[in-house]
Amino acid sequence: MATNAGGLGPSSEVSVRNLIRSFGPKGVLNGVDLDIAPGEFVALLGPSGCGKSTLLRALAGLDHDVRGSGVVKVPEQVSVVFQDSRLLPWDTVLGNVTLGLRDHDADARGRRALAEVGLSGREKAWPHELSGGEQQRVALARSLVREPKLLLADEPFGALDALTRLKMHALLKDLVAAHRPAVLLVTHDVDEAITLADRVIVLQDGRVALERKAGSAVDHSSLRGELLEALGVHAAA
């Protein structure tokens, strides 16, 4: 695991050095360093406005008009899952999944990806005919059909109800285990971060404030308390 933030070794899939981004006079990211190893699942926590989404958008290359500096190295194959499923309403479910695929077997791959997220048979449906959870599963299929080396997810389950969210956690875990991309999950849900990630990072005032290993070897309740403390929630554990 590339927890040594200083090393720029070939082992890291993502490497970010001294990343600075600002909207107007206010700095949003004030020198962020981040490494993600191949296949590693990193969760990014932080209060609203701490720069989580700005960091993710910088990695996705979606911040053309934002001023800043620093070095960002990401693999060629990057997929993004947004908080809204962001399906084109005028395209069918399958059309949305294969959007931008140029190979001749795109349809077959799209169908396989839909089967993987449990949506076989809904290929011809319009997005508005699906439930919120189903729409987000289509968005997952769309990002994984590209076989990304890096999956960026910006609060992908934030708009879902609690039960659907738990099902989506299990699905995402299975999908990540099958495809092995490096993952950066932006979330405000501490439990989501602990259950899913190998490593949790807390971002505060545009800097990495805390970095902890998660996963099965770690005591979840003490990690949860520590993360909540770092996020400024002083609740009894």
Partner 1 sequence: MTTTAARRSATIAAPRPKGDAGTHQGVVVEPHLDPALTSRPDVRPTSRRLGPGKRRRFAGVVGPAALILLWVVASATGLLDPRILSEPWTVVSTAGELIADGRLQENLAISAQRAGLGLFFGIVVGAVLAVLSGLSRVGESLIDGPVQIKRAIPGLALIPLLILWFGIDETMKVLTITLGVFVPIYLQTHAGLRGIDLRYVELAQSLGLSRAGFLRRVVLPGALPGFFLGLRFAVTGAWVSLVVVEQINSTSGIGYMMELARTYGQTNIIVLGLAVYGVLGLLSDAAVRLLERKALSWQRTLAG
**Residue ranges binding partner 1 (CB under 8 A):** 60-62, 78-80, 82, 84, 86, 88-91, 95, 99-100, 126-128, 142, 146
Among residues 6 and 89, whose Cβ is nearest to partner 1? 89
Find the shortest distance in angstroms from Cβ 89 to partner 1: 6
**Crossing angle of helices 132-144 and 106-116, rounded to 10°:** 130
Taking the least distance from each CB to partner 1, the nearer of 8 and 101 is 101
Nearest to partner 1 of 179, 207 (CB atom): 179
Return the number of the residue (2 or 139) whose C-beta is nearest partner 1.
139
| CB of 83 vs partner 1, minimal distance in Å | 10
151 Cβ contact partners less than 8 Å away, ≥ 6 residues apart: 78, 79, 81, 143, 144, 176, 181, 182, 183, 184
Report, in Å, the least distance between residue 79 CB and partner 1: 8
Instruction: Tell me the closest approach of the beta carbon of residue 148 to partner 1, in angstroms.
Output: 11
User: In which element (H, E) is residue 227 found?
Assistant: helix 220-230
b/e map of 174-186 (b: 16 or more CB within 10 Å)?
ebbeebebbbbbb
Dist. CA 55–CA 70, nearest whole Å: 12
Angle, in degrees to the nearest 10, between helices 132-144 and 162-179 = 10
